[in-house]
Amino acid sequence: MSRRPGQDGSTEFKEGSWWKFRLWVDVPGQIKRAHPSIPICPVKGPGALNKSQREARKRELIAEHTGRNKEVVESEGAITFEKQGEISLEAMRKRNREPVTDGTLEQYERILRLHLNPVIGKYPLSEIFNPQLKEVVDSLMKKELAPATMIKTIGIAKQVVGSAVDPRTGEALYPRKWRADLIDLPILNPDEQYTPEFSREILTGLAAYHEPRLRMLFTLDGATGARIAELLGLEIDKHISPDFRTITIEQQGINSKIVKRVKKRASRREVDIHPDISAVLKDFVGERTRGLLFATRNNTPLDYSFVLPHLQRALKALGYTDSMDISRLAGTHAFRRSRDTYLRNETSCPEGLYKFWLGHALGKDMSDRYDKIKRDRRKRVEWAEICGYGFSLPQSSSVPLYRNQGLDAVAA
């Protein structure tokens, strides 16, 4: 028997100590439908809800009991979750306030396409409640995805539902009270997340990589903790100070293109470097006076897809293992964690300064707001020399590592 869409249920009523309502429900193998009373919540005590909350819970129960499905959407002309996802994605591309990076947009689109649309894409947006997100969680569990990925996926689902607004007032068309117990996401344990970082020995080894561009990239990333896309966007004449002691972060190199924005407001900053690193950087730049610091033959930014395989092959050659998962190698973000860990735990660097160097947003404490060290370049450069960089550079007379380990660079 086909399901009958469109029910709103009966008016709620009290029965004993519970609020209830009645609903027509299909019975398999029978033409006649049942008309049971469905409990909403207790009248008093734990679990009691106010009138608007009861109405929202009632809609959830209707969706759960009738199994209102994907096929009813087109006949009703309702906007689907999939369509609203497209609208939300386009709005993110165009917005002026806190622009979204291309990488974030790609991740958003990929999660919609792979994990959300196949499960709830054809549902009317008005019918997306806690039980529908539970369907998504069940699907993600079958795929054995990491808890962090599941949490991000459900977060995007909620964002899509919340993005439908009345164009006249800007008010949400489908306000929801999301309930963690009904959605049943696994709890994220930070201690179980895969967040690798590099030891002093690994950073020293990477600083001796044989391919000049990557050797400089690995060295500079280890010494600054900048995001890899920030370094790939550096231009010699615009972002490197004349004394080679400071780099300016204000754009990124993503997908072999320059993106004229950074990840967030705090990411636009200056990063001061140790004299040893500045000497290596000056030698790498040589006679060049302009153009990208890390460029291909076609003068486009090096692409992450070129950098990552070299990094991971180098890590294998260096015998890298992570204490949490020795079968997995690290990505470039491990440079950032390593620098953060070093500055926090092995130096006396002022908190406001290392947060500025790393592009972390300062806290809301008034002392953070009054900290103006970021404006004093002389003092910052002094601290960069005091703090050091936490690994060793190869001697100028030494031969770079890996030449005989099958790690010759592929031309980019």
Q: Which of 360, 128, 136 is nearest to 226 (CA)?
A: 360
Looking at residue 14, its amino acid is K
The residue type of 364 is K
The tokens 């950074």 sit on which residue?
A: 262
Helices 81-94 and 147-162: angle between axes, nearest 10 degrees: 90
The DSSP string of 318-340 is TT---SS-TT----THHHHHHHH
pTM confidence score: 0.66
Q: What is the pLDDT of residue 26?
A: 60
Query: Where in the chain is CATH 1.10.443.10?
Result: 200-387
For residues 6 and 62, the answer to whether their CB atoms sit within 8 Å is no
Joined tokens for residue 222? 């280890």
Q: Where in the chain is the domain with CATH 1.10.150.130?
A: 77-192
pLDDT at 27: 56
Tell me how far apart the alpha carbons of residues 251 and 375 are, in angstroms, rounded to a whole number.
20
Give the Cα separation of 332 and 252 in Å (integer): 15
The CATH-assigned architecture of domain 200-387 is Orthogonal Bundle (1.10)
153-158 contacts, C-beta under 8 A, 24 or more apart: 153/111, 153/115, 153/116, 154/183, 154/185, 156/108, 156/111, 156/112, 156/116, 157/81, 157/116, 157/120, 157/128, 157/133, 158/133
What is the CATH T-level fold of the domain 77-192, as seen in this structure? DNA polymerase; domain 1 (1.10.150)
Tokens found for residue 246: 């400071």
Low-confidence ranges of the chain (pLDDT < 70): 1-10, 25-33, 65-78, 190-194, 321-328, 362-371, 396-412
Rounded distance, CA 209 to CA 222, Å?
A: 13
Whole-angstrom distance, CA of residue 375 vs CA of residue 352: 12
- Residue indicated by tokens 């959830």: 60
| Backbone Cα Rg of the chain | 28
Q: Measure the CA–CA gap between 213 and 309, rounded to whole angstroms.
A: 14
